[in-house]
Amino acid sequence: MDHYYWFALKSIPLVGNVTFRRLLERFDTPERALKASAAELSTVKGVSAAAAASILTHDYRPFAERESEAVARHGVKVVDFLATEYPKVLLEISDPPPFLYVRGELHGVEDAVAIVGSRRASTYGLVTTERLAGELALHGVTVVSGMARGVDTAAHRGALKAGGRSIGVLGCGIDVVYPPENQRLFKEMAEKGALVSEFPMGTTPLAENFPRRNRIISGISRGVLVVEAVQNSGSLITARYALDQGREVFAIPGNINSSGSRGTNQLIKQGAKLVDGVEDILEELPQRSKVVAHADPLPSFSLTPQEAGIYTLLAESPLHIDDIIVKSELTVGDVSAILLRLELKGAVMQLPGKHFAIT
């Protein structure tokens, strides 16, 4: 689909996301809205006389032509909010972008949880993020984050390493790699998940872009997990957007002596759900996802009775080694040996923090 007129209408001064949607509801297509008369525009709720004058007089052609050429040159998809791939939950927010620039694949309906946090996360924050992202992915949940350094990067990597989907929402143009050290992650995300942006091609990562990006991170998700955050951070802005949008807010408790935990601990005081395991998140999703390993709980290759017992435990949910020991009623040495054998057989894999899951 040619999005020339979508780019054109979006470029008109005084036509924001809400006005764009109202124009589309009235005229069906951006092209008809751009060609409407002053009298017709005056009948659209919320379109001021100044906005109507802007639509009638603004020369949108240079931008629309440039944008159409850039999208084609870079092989970028444009998903407008009439398309089946446009995330339906994003349409629930007050000002959904009329279209998204996309690399990879978007799904109109999917379970998604955002994980956000500090760019300067502690080892505890990074390990916890990667583990929980991996466990969510193993339960079929798409992990959403902002492709920034620290927690965002750990969230994306954790989901992809577990074989799941991840969506990165950018605060710059879809053709701009930021931060630059994430070049390889960008490529992997486009192949195994999606990168999305509402900003025009070539937009640089300016500070004012990120709060706008954050509302999409929460808007595309059913809940937002904050891992580490200082007070007044961007992660807390995302949490506020989530609350305004009717999303669930989760937080990882942190060290009371660490400034990086003050924001998350404050969220918990204010009513965010404390998370110390993936089940705390899954039980709040509207439709709980199943573990990605259906059919017969036992693999086709040969297992001893003890190996089969532990494999069956892990088929229900990823577990920490201590939980495996308790549930299996075996010794530490026996469980460690069995897990090693299962790893060598390709039946299980180890996640960060001594957690294990079936492959």
Which tens digits make up the pLDDT trace of 335-350? 988 998 888 888 888 7
Q: Mean pLDDT in the chain? A: 90
| Alpha carbon 154 to chain centroid, angstroms | 13
Top-ranked range on mean pLDDT: pick from 112-116, 119-123, 299-303, 342-346: 112-116
Asked if 56 contacts 12 with a C-beta cutoff of 8 angstroms, the reply is no
- The span from the CA of 189 to the CA of 249, in Å, is 25
Asked whether 289 and 282 are in contact (CB, 8 A), the reply is yes
- Per the CB < 8 A criterion, the answer to whether 105 and 195 are in contact is no
The answer, yes or no, to whether residue 298 has pLDDT greater than 60, is: no
Percent of the chain with pLDDT over 70: 94
Distance from chain centroid for Cα 287? 18
Q: Residue 353 has what pLDDT? A: 63
The β-bridge relationship of strands 248-251 and 194-197 is unpaired
- Beta carbons within 8 Å of 20's beta carbon, 6+ residues apart: 9, 10, 30, 98
pLDDT of residue 290 exceeding 70, the answer is: no
Backbone torsions φ then ψ of 345, nearest 5 degrees: -80, -5
- For position 296, what pLDDT does the model report? 41
Q: Which range among 200-214, 217-231, 264-278, 301-315 shows the weakest confidence by mean pLDDT?
A: 301-315
Helix, strand, or coil (residue 136): helix
The predicted-structure confidence for 15-65, as pLDDT tens digits, reads as follows: 999 999 999 989 989 999 999 999 999 999 989 999 999 999 999 999 999
- Give me the pLDDT at residue 294, please: 37
**pLDDT confidence bin for 258, thresholds 50/70/90:** confident
Per-residue pLDDT at 352: 56
Look up the pTM and report it: 0.79
Q: What is the three-class DSSP state of 341?
A: helix
With CA atoms as reference, report the closest residue to 141 among 58, 224, 85, 81.
224
What's the rounded mean pLDDT across residues 288-311? 60
- Which residues have C-beta within 8 Å of that of residue 57, sequence separation ≥ 6? none
Tokens coding 88: 């339906």
Q: Is the pLDDT of residue 106 over 80?
A: yes
